[in-house]
Structures are given as structure tokens and as C-alpha cells.
Amino acid sequence: MTGVFEGSLGWYPEMFQAWQSPDAAGRSFSLPTWENSHLYPGGRGDPEILKLEGSMTRERFMERHAGEPSPPAGRVVAEFSARQNVRDVQAVEGLPVEVTIDPGYAGAYAVEFVQTVDGQVRILDEVYEQGLDTYQVIPLVKRKPLWERVKGGVCDIAGTQHQALPPVVHVWYREAGIKLRTKRVLADPGIERLRQFARVQEPRGEPRLLVHPRCKAFIAECGGGPHPVPGMGVWRRKVDRSGNTIGPPMEENNHACKALIYYLVDRFGYAVRQRDRQRPAEFIFG
């Protein structure tokens, strides 16, 4: 297929981004305006190209002339990209696999299979469902090939609460035989930890977070591809007319991301010590 990013529906740039991953099912290519050497013999530095660049916003220029989609406005995990974070990662023998869980119902119930290899966190598989409770989700998780290697995991602290049903952590122990760790997670430093793992770091030269292409919901929440659930998309902050973010992240399209944050904070702690922070966290997960 061919087309332009400017004015396109969300799935088109999302598919382009998803196909930038070396392990994706397809391949995507872009042709910047300056590739037309007949009209723009100076290439990227052609005076006409530079004139166009100076006449519009960077986002519009990148979409209209550079052939690169602008990241979704206000996305929370801005450091994530399909090209750098999505790989065909496989479980390493001899290392534990855990599940990390953000239980929900109307929003979504997210279960991510994770493994840490030399300090690098890898999301190997996921279960992401709407309208199902813990009793219904557990059989789906057990069908995954990695289930036999799962020894434990992490859950949103809300999973310890007694509501109309037994606490989520109790159900997982009784029905699946695994103990889930829980703790109170502050949102702002938890998000900082996720963003830190998503970005490329030296001297490793790659991010500390890799995600298998099959984990479509997590990838979509980070803005790296189309969401598998209709009506759901990227985890965002509100954006004003000038493009500035407003307030805390919205409490939607964040279930897989929150699940991973619980794991990262449980295993690695916060990216910044709380006593070193200049302001308190805006809100608390769970």
C-alpha cells in the first residue's frame, strides 16, 4: 500500500511504525520529498527544502516532507519505538519467568509474561482481555506455552482488596498456584522508571526493555502500533492547543503499561529516590 501520513487515519502511521521493527510481519519504507533529486538537487539541504522546513511546525514538516509520522500527541512513554524496543525475544533457559498483572474488567485485564536477562527486561507474551474476571482470565493464561515456567509474579495492590469477589491475589494462588507480590506504587516515579527502561542506554547501545511483537496491547499503549482491542489506543496525557501536555496521564489505555510498572518497581525500585524528588507524586496506582 502507499499513502501519506498527513491527514491519515491513526491505523496507517501505526502500521508503519509497527513494520519498522526488524521482527515485524511486514516492512515499511518512507520516501522524503528530497529524494526527488530532479526537483531538489541539493537533497536534504536544498534551499527549497530548508525554506519549507522553516515555514511550518516540525511535526507537519516531518509528516508532509520527511515521510515520518509524528508520535501520538501527549503519549506517556515517549521514549518507546517499535524500531528499537520490539524484537523477537525468546525466553532464556534457566532464568525465571514471572507474570505481572493489572486486573480490571470494563477497562481491561492485562497479564504480561516477563523475564529479566542481565538487567534487561523482556516482555515475552501477554493476555489482554475486556469484560473478563480473574476466574475467566486464569485459564487463558494457563494455555500460554510459557505458563509451565512461571514461578510467581507481581500484581496491582488493589488485587488485595476485598470487594464483591475474593481478592485477586487469593484467586491466583488458589486457582493457579502462584503467589503474587504487591506494593503501593507511586505513579510519577513509576512512569519515570518505565520511560528509563524504554530509552536506549549506553554503553549497552540498546534499551533495557524489549518486547515480543505478539504483545500487541503493550506496544499499542506505548504508541508503537495498532491496538488489538477496538476503541483502545495510546496511553496519553491531555494536550492543549499549543501542544503542551496538561495534568497527569489519563486513566485509560494504560493497563499493560501499569502491569509492567508494578514489576519494574518491585524488582528495581524507583528511578529517583523519593527524598531526592522536588515535588510529590501526582497520584498513586491501585
Domains of the chain by residue range: 11-70, 72-286
What is the CATH code of the structural domain delimited by 72-286? Answer: 3.30.420.280
Q: Grid coordinates 481491561 are at which residue? A: 108
231 CB contacts (<8 Å, ≥6 apart)?
Answer: none
Q: Which grid coordinates belong to 48? A: 527549497
Task: Indicate left, alpha or beta for 38 from its phi (over 0: left) and psi (-120 to 50: alpha).
Answer: alpha
Question: For 225-278, how does the pLDDT look when each residue is reduced to its tens digit (9 = 90+)?
Answer: 888 999 899 999 887 776 677 888 999 999 999 999 999 999 999 976 555 454
258 Cα distance to chain centroid: 9
Residue 149: half-sphere exposure toward Cβ, Cα within 13 Å: 17
122, with CB counted inside 10 A (0-12, 13-18, 19+), is buried
Model confidence at 19: pLDDT above 90: no
- Total residue length of the chain: 286
Q: Which residues contact 198 (CB under 8 A, 6 or more apart)?
A: 77, 79, 80, 85, 207, 209, 222
pTM above 0.95, yes or no: no
Averaged pLDDT score across all residues of the chain: 87
pLDDT digits (tens, 9 = 90+) for 59-111: 678 778 888 776 667 889 989 988 889 999 999 999 999 999 999 998 999 99
Backbone angles phi, psi at 98, to 5 degrees: -125, 160
What is the C-alpha separation between 66 and 51, in angstroms, rounded? Answer: 14
Planar angle of CA 242, 44, 59, nearest 5 degrees: 15
